[in-house]
Amino acid sequence: MTAPATSSRTAPGAPASGDGAPASARFRSVPRWVTPALGVGALVASAAAVVQGLVVMGPTTNQGEYSRLLVVHPPVATVSYVAFGVTAAASLLYLIPRTRARAWDQLAGASAEVGVVFTVLTLVTGSIWGHSTWGVWWTWDARLTASALLLALFLGYLALRRVPAEETVRAKRCAVAALIAVVDVPIDHYATSWWRTLHQGSSISLTQPDKHVDSAHAVGLLLGFVAMALAYAWLVTQRYRVERLEARYEEEGLSLALDARKAEGGVTAPTGPSDATGPSDATGTSGDPPVGALSGERP
């Protein structure tokens, strides 16, 4: 049985037994306390970062209050790229026959979805920060544009994941799509930064630090990075587990539903043939009450 969670943030321990995929053993060797520690760490670091950003840090001469966004914007932007990198690396591992394992495909998908969240946050915080400098909600700043393209790449990948197809076929195609997309990211960077610099001299980069970065800002930036990194790690772990659970659900879901159906049938009309399928029900794949009712009818 799965252990009850003690708070909404801490997670149950390692995935429930039953999926014999070899790769799960690799992750099972991670101690149980790691994931909750990540979650708690993320919360603590986030709180510290917020305090640092809103209270300890003071406004700067160049950007006024907006320099406080140093705590959120660069960290989420960095994490969004890290997420994509993880997706690409996992995809590569899946494609190489020697290291192929369903777990890599699941990790790739999990990291991609978390990455979308961080990319959207990058765009939102970047837009807010840009608004402070240029007064408009969107400028074709090199980094924002690159992030927008990254979002498009992510979304395409996620759309591909949702297309129904046989499992290995889908996993392979998604892996190839991830690699095609990740190769595009550095090209995007060159293109967008040349686009903006060759045109109008040097554009002011959003995250260009003020000439005199005081220690409070440096600490804020660091805390932000730590908080976002921990949050990413925790979120990917959780999302990865959900991915595995969904895979199990796809495999076992039909038989679960059938068992529940048969159990209902057993309660209303005690026919022999439906009871005869009992042994398969006894493996306990259906919910509690129906099975109890069914077992109650057995001679």
Partner 1 sequence: MWRDAVLVAGKDLRIEARSRVATNQVLPFAFLVLILFAFALDTDQRALTRAAAGLYWVAVLFSTLLAIQRSAAIESADGARDQLRLSGLDPAGVFLGKVAAVAVQLVALEVLLGAGVVVLYNASIRGVGLVVLTCAAATVGLAAAGTMYGALAAGLKVRETLLPLLLLPVAAPVLLAATKAWQAALDGVPADGAPWLRLLATFAVIYLTLGVLLFGSLLEES
Partner 2 sequence: MNYVLAGYAVTFGALGLYALRVVLRGRALRRVLAPVPPVDGEEHG
Of 7, 85, 73, nearest to 43 by C-alpha is 7
The verdict on 172 binding partner 1 (CB under 8 A) reads: yes
Q: Name which position in 1, 136, 169, 276 contacts partner 1 (CB under 8 A).
A: 169
What SS3 state is found at 64? strand
User: Distance of CA 42 to CAs 31, 38, 119, 222, Å?
Assistant: 18, 6, 18, 13
| Closest CB to partner 2 among residues 25, 54 | 54
Q: How far is CA 268 from the centre of its chain?
A: 44
The verdict on 68 binding partner 2 (CB under 8 A) reads: yes
The verdict on 197 binding partner 1 (CB under 8 A) reads: no
Q: Name which position in 151, 239, 263, 274 contacts partner 2 (CB under 8 A).
A: 239
| Closest CB to partner 1 among residues 76, 148 | 148
> Of partner 1, partner 2, none, which one does residue 1 interact with (CB within 5 to 8 Å by kind)?
partner 2
Contact between residue 84 and residue 185 where contact means Cβ atoms under 8 Å apart: yes
What SS3 state is found at 172? helix
HSE, CB side, 13 Å, CA atoms: give it for residue 171.
23
Q: How far is the CB of 171 from partner 2 (least distance, A)?
A: 20
Structure tokens at 131: 């608004």
What is the per-residue burial (b if ≥16 Cβ within 10 Å, else e) of 152-164?
A: ebbeebeebbeee
Binding window for partner 2 (CB under 8 A); candidates: 64-72, 83-91, 167-175, 265-273: 64-72
> What single-letter DSSP state applies at residue 53?
I
Q: Name which position in 8, 20, 61, 198 contacts partner 1 (CB under 8 A).
A: 198
Residues at the contact surface with partner 2, assessed by CB under 8 A: 1-2, 5, 8-9, 11-12, 16, 18, 46, 50, 53-54, 65-66, 68-69, 71-73, 76, 114, 117, 120-121, 124-125, 128-129, 131-132, 231, 234-235, 238-239, 241-242, 245-246, 248-249, 252-253, 256, 278-279, 281-288, 291-292, 295
